[in-house]
């Protein structure tokens, strides 16, 4: 089994697969070449498929440099690191492991290829050369969604389900998960938390859950307070600060109960706009869908009941388990299955965990997850200019609303449904594979192919 904290990771925007994954690849590569560091004269990075086609909009090229400079997404000091990265580009010099200076020409040592590598749509290679142009080390990496990065060898190995941690209540499908919980008389949240004890202590789980929530809240706060235009050339104005001011001054709540939707939109906007600007966020399960889980949590916290640590643990446990099912049985990569693998999966996760907090049965939890995905099937991933802005920011708000509605439908339904969660997960994956690659995070089709005129005042 994977850990729920493999699904929930702290990183930086705008993309888990296109920013965080390549940064980790660069970081890992520097440690591979450490024993031969004094022989390294040049490093070349080759980006393929979606990493190439939408790489500049997702900061993939810059993320690799940051990784080669020794940065990791969860610990990076972004302002300091960005200044060093700009110095690399300006001076064409790269510091490896802090003590080896090599030539690094941004325009020729990072190469963008339109074709794919064989195992996944997000592929890249890093090559180290010596003074005579001979290859010292060559490695292929795949960034397969949610900040997960694997070498070609590891990718093939994980396809065979090796190297997984043994847990108390193992399951490979939603039906097995429900069977285990029923057999042992446990709620899904309690069962998943007991599985998590195979990875870490309960004290560590408490600490990590609190930290995830803290990072989400800080991200949302920055989103509330930061005004202006998002970088990238689309001239997208941050909406969260203005919407918050309007909601605080609006006294029409008694006459318009639907204003709750405006608050949910606000929460999603704030996080998604921070992600689009390269801020620190929590992948849930990806950066492109990072606004949905915090928005649903804040909805519960503000309008239903103030969250405590036990509720947070239950929420992250259930949603993490649903995320694991999608990750291991389908995909959470927009480049592989479209946005149904990002916003769709996050909405499904949020629907399930909200249902758990509202006292739903184990079956109702899975029904909620199924409903949210059922109505996300076929969702394309077509970010304009490769930027996680349009339609991504609004799509997070819509995903949060969908999750809440899916939970409400499930809670008022019976404990059975015609389509199981396992069937919808399989359908999502097959649908994603059937989607033309133009609509799978390549910026070659859909909204991404629309010519945008300058906005009119």
Cβ-Cβ contacts under 8 Å for 190 (sequence gap 6 or more): none
Q: First-to-last CA distance in the chain? A: 53
Q: Report pLDDT for 301.
A: 98
Q: Confirm if 282 and 212 have CB atoms less than 8 A apart.
A: yes
How large a percentage of the chain has pLDDT more than 90? 88
Between CA 59 and CA 140, with CA 41 as vertex, the angle to 5 degrees is: 50
Residue-wise pLDDT for 382-394, tens only, equals 999 989 999 999 9
In the predicted model, what is the mean pLDDT of residues 44-63? 94
Between CA 67 and CA 71, with CA 68 as vertex, the angle to 5 degrees is: 35
* Chain centroid, CA 379 distance in Å: 16
Q: Confirm if 57 and 99 have CB atoms less than 8 A apart.
A: no
pLDDT of residue 138 exceeding 90: yes
Q: Report pLDDT for 456.
A: 47
How large a percentage of the chain has pLDDT more than 70? 96
Other C-beta atoms within 10 Å of 235: how many?
Answer: 12
SS3 441: coil
Q: Report pLDDT for 439.
A: 94
| pTM for this entry | 0.93
As beta bridge partners, residue 388 has none
Residue-wise pLDDT for 364-383, tens only, equals 999 999 999 999 999 999 99
Name the token pair of 122.
Answer: 């997000």
User: Rounded distance, CA 322 to CA 60, Å?
Assistant: 28
Structural domains of the chain sorted by starting position, each given as residue range(s) with its CATH number in brackets: 15-158 (3.30.1330.90), 174-452 (1.10.4100)
User: Rounded distance, CA 438 to CA 423, Å?
Assistant: 26
Cα–Cα nearest to 299, from 402, 370, 372? 402
Q: Confirm if 17 and 60 have CB atoms less than 8 A apart.
A: no
As beta bridge partners, residue 440 has 381
SS3 100: strand
In the predicted model, what is the mean pLDDT of residues 283-293? 97
- Whether omega for the bond prior to residue 424 falls within 30 degrees of 0, making it cis, is no
Please give the mean pLDDT across all residues of the chain.
94
User: Rounded distance, CA 396 to CA 7, Å?
Assistant: 18
User: Rounded distance, CA 156 to CA 115, Å?
Assistant: 20
Q: Report pLDDT for 452.
A: 60
Residue-wise pLDDT for 395-446, tens only, equals 999 999 999 999 999 999 887 888 999 999 999 999 999 999 999 999 899 9
Other C-beta atoms within 10 Å of 418: how many?
Answer: 6
In the predicted model, what is the mean pLDDT of residues 100-108? 95
Name the token pair of 164.
Answer: 């997984």
Task: Return the percent helix, strand and coil in the chain, to nearest 5.
Answer: 55, 10, 35
pLDDT interval class at 254 (50, 70, 90)? low
As beta bridge partners, residue 112 has 47
User: Rounded distance, CA 175 to CA 172, Å?
Assistant: 8
DSSP code at position 454: P
DSSP code at position 19: I
Q: Report pLDDT for 253.
A: 58
Of the two residues 455 and 384, the one the predictor is more confident about is: 384
Other C-beta atoms within 10 Å of 108: how many?
Answer: 10
Angle between helices 174-183 and 309-329 (to 10 degrees): 140
pLDDT of residue 156 exceeding 60: yes
């Amino acid at each position: 089994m994977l850990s729920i904290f493999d699904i929930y990771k702290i990183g930086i925007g705008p993309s888990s697969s296109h920013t965080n994954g390549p940064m980790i690849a660069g970081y890992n590569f520097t440690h591979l070449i450490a024993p031969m560091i004094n022989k390294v004269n040049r490093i070349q990075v080759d980006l393929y498929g979606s990493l190439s086609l939408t790489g500049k909009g997702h900061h993939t090229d810059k993320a690799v440099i940051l990784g080669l400079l020794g940065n990791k997404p969860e610990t990076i000091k972004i302002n300091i690191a960005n200044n060093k990265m700009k110095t690399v580009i300006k001076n064409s010099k790269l510091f490896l492991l802090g003590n080896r200076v090599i030539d690094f020409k941004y325009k020729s040592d990072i190469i963008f290829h339109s074709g794919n590598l064989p195992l996944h749509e997000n592929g890249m290679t890093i090559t180290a050369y010596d003074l005579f142009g001979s290859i010292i080390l060559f490695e292929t990496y795949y960034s397969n969604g949610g900040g997960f990065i694997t070498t070609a060898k590891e990718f093939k190995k994980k396809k065979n389900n090796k190297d997984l941690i043994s847990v108390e209540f193992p399951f490979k499908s939603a039906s097995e998960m429900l069977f285990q919980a029923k057999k042992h008389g446990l709620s899904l949240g309690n069962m998943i938390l007991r599985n998590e004890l195979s990875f870490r202590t309960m004290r560590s789980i408490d600490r990590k859950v609190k930290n995830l929530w803290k990072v989400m809240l800080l991200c949302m706060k920055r989103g509330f307070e930061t005004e202006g235009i998002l970088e990238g050339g689309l001239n997208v104005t941050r909406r969260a600060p203005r919407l918050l001011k309007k909601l605080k001054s609006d006294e029409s709540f008694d006459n318009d109960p639907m204003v709750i939707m405006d608050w949910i939109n606000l929460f999603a906007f704030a996080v998604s706009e921070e992600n689009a600007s390269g801020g620190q966020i929590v992948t849930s399960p990806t950066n492109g869908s990072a606004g949905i889980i915090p928005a649903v949590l804040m909805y519960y916290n503000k309008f239903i009941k103030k969250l405590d640590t036990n509720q947070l643990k239950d929420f992250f446990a259930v949603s993490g388990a649903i995320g694991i099912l999608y990750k291991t049985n389908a995909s959470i990569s927009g480049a592989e299955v479209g946005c149904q693998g990002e916003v769709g999966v996050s909405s499904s996760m949020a629907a399930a965990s909200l249902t758990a907090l509202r006292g739903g049965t184990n079956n109702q939890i899975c029904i909620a997850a199924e409903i949210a995905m059922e109505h996300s099937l076929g969702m394309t991933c077509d970010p304009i200019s490769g930027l996680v802005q349009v339609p991504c920011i609004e799509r997070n708000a819509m995903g949060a609303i969908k999750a809440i509605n899916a939970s409400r439908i499930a809670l008022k339904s019976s404990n059975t449904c015609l389509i199981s969660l396992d069937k919808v997960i399989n359908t999502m994956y097959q649908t994603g594979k059937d989607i033309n690659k133009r609509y799978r995070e390549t910026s070659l089709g859909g909204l991404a192919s629309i010519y945008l005129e300058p906005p009119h005042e």
